[in-house]
Amino acid sequence: MKDFNLRKENSIGIFDSGVGGVSVLKEVTAILPNENCIYYGDSLNAPYGEKTPEEIFELVHNVVKHLFAQNVKAILIACNTATSVAVATLREMYPEISFIGMEPAIKKAVSTDKINKVLVMATPVTLKLDKYQNLQHKLENQAEFLSVECPGLAKRIESVDFEGEDLKQMLREFLEPYKGQVDNVVLGCTHYPFVKKQISEILGDIPLIDGGKGTALQLQRVLREKNLLNDQTEAGRIVFESSKDTEEELAIYKKLYDMYEV
């Protein structure tokens, strides 16, 4: 049985199937600049969103064990797909450690003034599993939800070429049917914020909502409650790791981190 030695100065472990969670890491370091963070991208096994839940759970569990070995004090699952599949089981298996998960931020898309038409973009697994279905069901009388599975999109974003015509074509195929039909869009996969500009080029000037900031705030609340916020005054250390363990891959994570604006 693992002996968790949870201390304020330990790192926070943050992971995703690949580059997507870097968008969440950036929100975390904006809100918690003094925290040490280890970012792990499972790029070798990306995308998760088109695998079976059993395959995804095994991959996620391996990443979690890898982060435990580095004595993390909490784990942020910066991936909607991995959260849908694994967070409940992980919390049962390891009650000593806090797991902060992600879900498509549809609560933020609801308006009190009118019944918004909300388009939710996510991976096939996220949209199918109970976690999202139950969430949508709870909000059903406050908005009209449409959803679009985007197979292939996270994988395409892993290539970090955001200008290619093939990416634009892929996005047009997913989104053109909704042009002029929806009030806002929820980006229910942490890879998608990297192509916000390309999404807006198709759907026009409507709000694109993601859960990165809300999740970072939730992490802050959890650490505060557990008295685990790092009280060092200097800036925290950020370490990038990847299952595709090459200089190039780690340079990509770092570049996306520097480039992404929150």
Task: Write out the residues near ligand DGL by the rule CB under 6 A.
Answer: 16-17, 20, 46-49, 79-81, 123, 126, 154, 189-191
Could you tell me if 106 and 186 are in contact, meaning their C-beta atoms sit under 8 angstroms apart?
yes
Closest approach of Cβ 80 to ligand DGL, in Å?
A: 4
User: Cα–Cα distances in Å, from 15 out to 3, 103, 140, 172, 190?
Assistant: 21, 15, 30, 29, 11
Nearest to ligand DGL of 228, 252 (CB atom): 252
Residue nearest to ligand DGL (CB): 49
C-alpha triplet 53, 54, 59: angle, nearest 5°: 95
| C-beta of 12 vs 228, nearer to ligand DGL | 12
Residues sharing a CB contact under 8 Å with residue 173, sequence separation 6 or more, in sequence order:
none
How many whole angstroms separate alpha carbon 56 and alpha carbon 80? 12
Amino acid letter at 199?
I
CB proximity list for 12: less than 8 A, separation 6 or greater:
28, 32, 35, 36, 37, 38, 72, 73, 74, 75, 76, 219, 223
Catalytic position from the list 46, 56, 60, 79? 79
Specify the residue for token string 């969440």.
24
146/125 Cα distance (integer angstroms): 16
In the bound state with ligand DGL, the residue whose beta carbon lies nearer, of 10 and 190, is 190
Three-class DSSP category at 185? strand
3-state DSSP of 208-259: EEECHHHHHHHHHHHHHHCCCCCCCCCCCCEEEEECCCCHHHHHHHHHHHHH
Is 79 an active-site residue?
Answer: yes
| Shortest distance, position 36 Cβ to ligand DGL, whole Å | 23
Question: In angstroms, what is the minimal distance from the CB of 61 to ligand DGL?
Answer: 16
As measured in angstroms, the least distance from the Cβ of 49 to ligand DGL is 3
CB of 86 to ligand DGL, least distance (A): 12
Q: From the candidates 75, 189, 223, 256, which is the catalytic residue? A: 189
Nearer residue to ligand DGL within complex by CB, 123 or 184: 123
Q: Which is nearer to ligand DGL, 72 or 122 (CB)?
A: 122
Evaluated on CA atoms 177, 21, 85, 88, the torsion sign reads negative
CB of 21 or CB of 230, closer to ligand DGL = 21
The least distance separating ligand DGL from the CB of residue 22, rounded to whole angstroms, comes to 10
Catalytic residues: 79, 189
